[in-house]
A and B are shown apart, each in its own frame.
Chain A
Amino acid sequence: MNAQELITLARTQQRAALDEQAGKSLLAAYGVAVPQSRTVKNAGEVDIAFATLKPPLVVKIMSPDILHKSDAGGVKVGLQSAADVKDAINTMAASPKIQGARIDGYLLEEMAPAGQEMVIGGLRDPQFGPLVMVGLGGIFVEVLRDVSFRICPITRLDAAEMLNELKGVAILDGARGMKPVSIDAIIDVLMKVGGENGLLMRHADDVAEADINPLIVSGNGAVAVDARFILSTK
């Protein structure tokens, strides 16, 4: 499916948002790296899927009824074997917060290499059109609200200035003994999302809000580990 087909399908299914896999496919269509993944309907399909992936894996519930997967117990990380994956799926299916929900299946996904967690977001402003946002992950965004916004489309210079505007920018350069991360990789993703022919400009009418959270950035690349796209109400 191409990018527009992903959105059209979600609209046909009367979804308010793209599910995680569709969201990642949308990002992949714009050249943003996402982890290798497979979907399974139930524990019975795990063996075949597991063989094509490189552990450790993460398993995530896929349900239009569950917005916050971790809170519902719908995420399990660090799974090394097919048996671990099956156990995780069976435990999720039995959990009280998940039992009543519609379940589309389970996402088996390779885990991203360690790195700095970032957040990249998008928003359709009623006055200015699409905006793109960037921030550092975790407490930087949740508690300190240390983020910067720009009106789309942005240039590479805008993207670099967005990062420099963050109070926590020194962390990207390797403060406190951490490894420096690739600024270019973050700027690349910002351009693919918020640049001239980026996702937010191309789908300005459809995407009301977007969250890539986290984007895990290492010394040589960036991977979108989770993504949510909330569709506009037309």
Chain B
Amino acid sequence: MMNKNNALETFSPLFEPKTIAVVGASARSFALPNTFMKRIRDLGYKGDIYPIHPSAAEIDGLTAYKSLADTPKPIDYAYIAVAGGLIPAMLETAKGRLRFAHVISSGFGEVDEGRDLQEKLVAAAHAGGLRLIGPNCMGLFSPRGSVTFAEVGQRDVGTVGVISQSGGLGTDIIRRGFARGVKFSGVVTVGNCADVVPSELLEYYLADAQTKVIGMYLETAKDGRRLFETLLAAKASKPVVILKGGRTQQGLAAAASHTGSLAGDDRAWVALSRQTGCVLVETLDQFVDTLLIFQSLKPNTAQPTKRVTLFGNGGGTSVLATDYFARLGLAVTPFGADTIDRLAALKLPPGTSITNPVDCPVGTLQQEDGKVAEKILDIIYAHGKPDALVMHLNLSAFVGRAKPEVLDNLMAAALRVQQKYPGQAHFMLVLRSDGEPALEERKRSFRVNAMALGVPVYDEMSNAGTALAALQWHERFIYTRAGSNA
């Protein structure tokens, strides 16, 4: 295993490259590499950009060079998207002048006829004294280095570091993440992992001070052993969320024993999660939901999350959520008599349930133009003392019933009260809507306000539940293993 300093030293130039070469940009048309150059310039990349072209003197206003060996300065990062067969010879010419070659092109190890070419590519990378990322991927997003392969439109440096074996999914993670308020310290698409493997980048993110949360989309793990050892050594110091795809039957094929036939690939991943505390998720939505909760809320490892209060409108929604949360090991249990007495003293209208879940119809929530929520939340925080509080609003139910400012007041009350009790309970919002454009727009603006205060917002109760269960998993792992040698 690489030590912490090595990983930082090796990969820092990848995330903050001072010089970038672009191979495959066209002097006449607008190819993918031209788009890459445009995107990094739009993002404000300040270093030198060297288009590499066999004949053109200039591409998109930048001086072009004939090969990776001809650039004025050594190259930190090369974005390479040309016919695969041309790349090995090109890399050999780099001769120690290039740190990272990110090969976007496909037609390598992912297809039978490309296996030999991939071997040549790796050999050429070694001969050229460089590290190879990919091939068969999309590129890199590093806001601190102003590098992006995806259309992002913003450069906020965040705390979520992602490694994705799929390029397309990498784009989804970035763009859907943004829409939800996830901010990245980096996203690297690694494709076939012919040279740089996911566990190496994991080592980097674990050592990188900017990164607080790590997400990985993995299809195969030929570096599985190193992944296990790296995660084990990290002792869950940062939450690691793994979305595992492409479960093969390798482990089953030749099984001659009971143990062999019982294994299946999934068992090893479940074991990995239990032994190292990493969180396994199954869908892209869960992946983003889970990264969001870890980005927003500080794990309470001294007292893992167990008791949850649900507060909002929608009786059926509350019942279904209580069931769903219970299945995840999250207890929505009734308050003690003291808390119930205090809530009862508010004399809320009939139809309101105050035992937990606290179910308030729109008629209740619009009392005092929505300011009643502040009183309810105050009592829940001060006396109910749950580990987590999920406030949910079905925006649809307010349409045509309440003045528009009622929702504004409810949101303001929610955000104000949670600030009054810092660190006391995990606070999450679920804003439910029905796709109607005006409501979606209000929801979007509520979300922006909430995220600015560090409150994660979810679309449905089940999304919030899954994310909260992931947080609980991480908290429990550290709580159980703190102080033990395990």
Chain A neighbourhood of B270, CB < 8 A: 149
Q: Is B89 located at the chain interface by the 8 A CB criterion? A: no
Q: Which of B209-261 contact A (CB under 8 A)?
A: 220-222, 224-225, 228, 250-251, 255-260
Shortest Cβ gap from B277 to chain A (Å): 12
Complex Cα distance A135/B267, Å?
A: 13
Q: When each residue 142-159 of chain A gets 1 if its CB lies under 8 Å from chain B and 0 otherwise, what string results?
A: 100101111100111110
Chain B residues, CB < 8 A from A125? 224, 251, 263, 268
Q: Is the interface of A mostly helix, strand, loop or mixed?
A: strand
Contact yes or no, B263 A123, CB < 8 A: yes
Q: How large is the interface on A (under 10, 10 to 19, 20 to 34, 35 or more residues)?
A: 20 to 34
* Least Cβ–Cβ distance between B483 and chain A, in angstroms: 11
Docked-complex contact B256 and A157, CB < 8 angstroms = no
The answer to whether B268 and A127 have CB atoms under 8 Å apart is yes
Any B CB within 8 A of the CB of A87: no
Closest to A213 in B: B258
- Residues in B with CB closer than 8 Å to A133 are 259, 262-263, 267
A122 within 8 A of B: yes
Assess A155 versus B486: contact at CB under 8 Å? Given A126-B250, A127-B221, A131-B268.
yes
Tell me, in angstroms, the Cα distance from A126 to B265 when the chains sit together.
Answer: 10
Bound Cα distance A211, B258 (Å)? 7
Contact partners of A123 in chain B: CB under 8 A: 251, 257, 259-260, 263
Please indicate the chain B residues that have their CB under 8 angstroms from the CB of A156 in the complex: 486
Q: Report which of B221, B222, B259, B267 forms a contact with A210, defined as CB distance below 8 A.
A: B259
- Expressed in whole angstroms, the Cα–Cα distance for A210 and B222 within the complex equals 23
Q: Is there contact, CB below 8 Å, between B263 and A149?
A: yes
Instruction: Please name the residue on chain B nearest to A125 by beta carbon.
Output: B268
Contacting residue for A211 out of B222, B250, B257, B275, CB 8 A: B257
**How many Å from the CB of B236 to the closest CB on chain A?**
14
Instruction: Tell me whether A129 is interfacial, beta carbon within 8 Å.
Output: yes
In the complex, are the beta carbons of A121 and B228 less than 8 A apart?
no
Q: Which of B259, B262, B265, B275 has the most CB of A within 10 A?
A: B259
In Å, the complex CA distance between A156 and B251 comes to 26
Closest to B232 in A: A151
> Is the CB of A228 closer than 8 A to any CB of chain B?
yes
Would you call A119 an interface residue if the criterion is a C-beta within 8 Å of the partner chain's C-beta atoms? yes
Q: Is A230 an interface residue (CB 8 A)?
A: yes
Asked whether A230 lies within 8 Å of B257 as measured between CB atoms, the reply is: yes
> B253-291: which residues lie under 8 A (CB-CB) from chain A?
255-260, 262-263, 265, 267-268, 270-272, 274-275
Cβ–Cβ contact A141 & B268, under 8 A:
no
Whether, in the assembled complex, B3 has its beta carbon less than 8 Å from a beta carbon of chain A, the answer is no
Q: A128-B228, A150-B274, A150-B275 are contacts. A155–B485 as well, Cβ < 8 Å?
A: yes
| Contact A129 to B262, CB < 8 A, known contacts A121-B257, A157-B484 | no
Interface residues of A in 155-210 (CB under 8 A from B): 155-158, 161, 165, 209-210
Give Cα A145–Cα B264 distance, bound, in whole angstroms: 11
Smallest CB–CB gap between A60 and chain B, Å?
18
Does B481 touch A at the CB level, under 8 Å?
Answer: yes
Pairwise interchain contact B258-A158, C-beta atoms closer than 8 A: no
Q: Contacts A125-B251, A155-B486, A157-B481 known; A149 to B258 CB distance under 8 Å?
A: no
A-B contact pairs, 13 of them (CB 8 A): A121-B258, A127-B221, A127-B225, A127-B268, A129-B224, A141-B262, A149-B267, A150-B274, A156-B486, A157-B484, A209-B256, A209-B259, A211-B257
Which are the 9 A-B pairs with shortest beta-carbon distances? A121-B259, A127-B224, A157-B486, A209-B257, A155-B486, A149-B267, A128-B224, A150-B271, A209-B260
